[in-house]
Structure 1
Amino acid sequence: MYFLTFSLHFDREPGLDQGRLCLRHLEKGTLQIWEATSATDKKQYKENFHEKGGFIPPEYRVPGLKSWTVNTKPISMPDIPGVAGNFYKIDPYEVKTDQGGSRGDFGIHKDANVPGSMGCIVMSPERFQKFEKEMTELAKDGVTSLPLFVTYS
């Protein structure tokens, strides 16, 4: 079974902090690691996943959510500023956090505008190209979606 993990430290230094998006397999272990981020540098602080524009919330802070799910088939969004290419949708579309924050419309995409995101997981165009290659291979092998687990420290 394949799955993704995303981990990042809460703001520890000035500027945009980077985390790690990992492709893992239950039996084979960690297969790929990409540097990635969520939120913008001004929104990377503790507990901001309850606010619009903050980090993607960890699933354990969303009542009833066992894991996020990432679709392996992308949605083409070439004309959307900040995405300017493929968007790997993260489900569910909208959630309420345990503090009542309404969050949603998340995905994984290249960082195509200002550094960071409004809660999506983003990476440089070069890293995203490698991520897309892996997703394409998984889709060819019949994998339609991957669980995603999110943690912060």
Structure 2
Amino acid sequence: MYKLIFTMPLGKSKKLILGNLELSYPSGEIVNYLATSGLPDWQRPEDQWSRGKGPIPAGQYEIPSEAYWLETRGVEGLFYHITPDPVGAGERIRSELGIHYDANAPGTSGCIGLINREGWDGFCRRMAKIASLGVKTLSLKVQY
């Protein structure tokens, strides 16, 4: 089974905290990508429910193996939409989260952003290959 795991140490920092997005193959092969979620100074555990600023909340999600093009500033390119959408309830709700290249200012509004272009391009190629095998979705675990 193909799966993704995003990990990142949460804490108080004026600088962007970096984490890891791990892509696992059924064969046991693992590929790691430098990634982040949230904005600098908004990457503490209590910020997971801060809309537009905090990191993606910990939990179990799914992403499609195929991305779509999104013009939104900060993404401006391929976007793998994370579901369920929205996640949470009441005051604790996040929506419109995805995996994308961290295109402009450092950090994301809650998405998982891959930091370097080479890593992002490689991730997109691997996801396209997985999609060509008939795999429609991958599980995504977010843990801190």
TM-score (norm 2): 0.91
List alignment gaps of at least 5 residues for structure 2.
none
Gaps of 5+ in 1: 60-66
Do structure 1's residue 75 and structure 2's residue 68 form an aligned pair?
Answer: yes
* CA–CA distance in structure 1, aligned partners of residues 7 and 29 of structure 2: 14
- CA distance in 1 between partners of 2:131 and 2:123 (Å): 12
Task: Tell me the C-alpha RMSD between the 2 structures.
Answer: 1.6
Q: Where do residues 22-33 of structure 1 align in structure 2 (5 Å cutoff)?
A: 22-25=22-25, 27-33=26-32
Any conservation in 2 of the 1:22–1:30 contact (CA below 8 Å)? no
Matches within 5 A, 1:113-152: 113-123=104-114, 124-152=116-144
Q: How many residues align?
A: 142
The structure 1 residue matched to 2:101, chosen from 110, 129, 145, is 110
Q: What's the counterpart of residue 55 of structure 2?
A: 55
Check whether the contact 1:70–1:89 (CA below 8 A) recurs between aligned residues: yes
Q: Does 1:101 align with 2:86?
A: no
Q: Is the Cα contact below 8 Å between 1:5 and 1:22 reproduced in 2? A: yes
1:88 aligns with 2:87: no
- Cα deviations by residue, 1:35-66 (Å, 9 ceiling, x for unpaired): 1000011211122112212111111xxxxxxx
Q: Give the whole-Å Cα distance in 1 for the aligned partners of 2:102 and 2:11.
A: 19
CA distance in 2, matches of 1:11, 1:131: 27
Please identify runs of 4+ aligned residues in structure 1 that moved more than 3 A.
Answer: none
8 Å Cα contact 1:70-1:90 kept in structure 2: yes
Deviation at 1:14, TM superposition (A): 4.3
**TM-score, normalising length: structure 1:** 0.86
Deviation at residue 75 of structure 1 after TM alignment:
1.0
2:6 aligns with 6
Give the drift of 1:135. Answer: 0.4
Give CA-to-partner distance per residue, 1:103-143, whole Å, 9 cap, x none.
11110000111101010000122211111011001001111
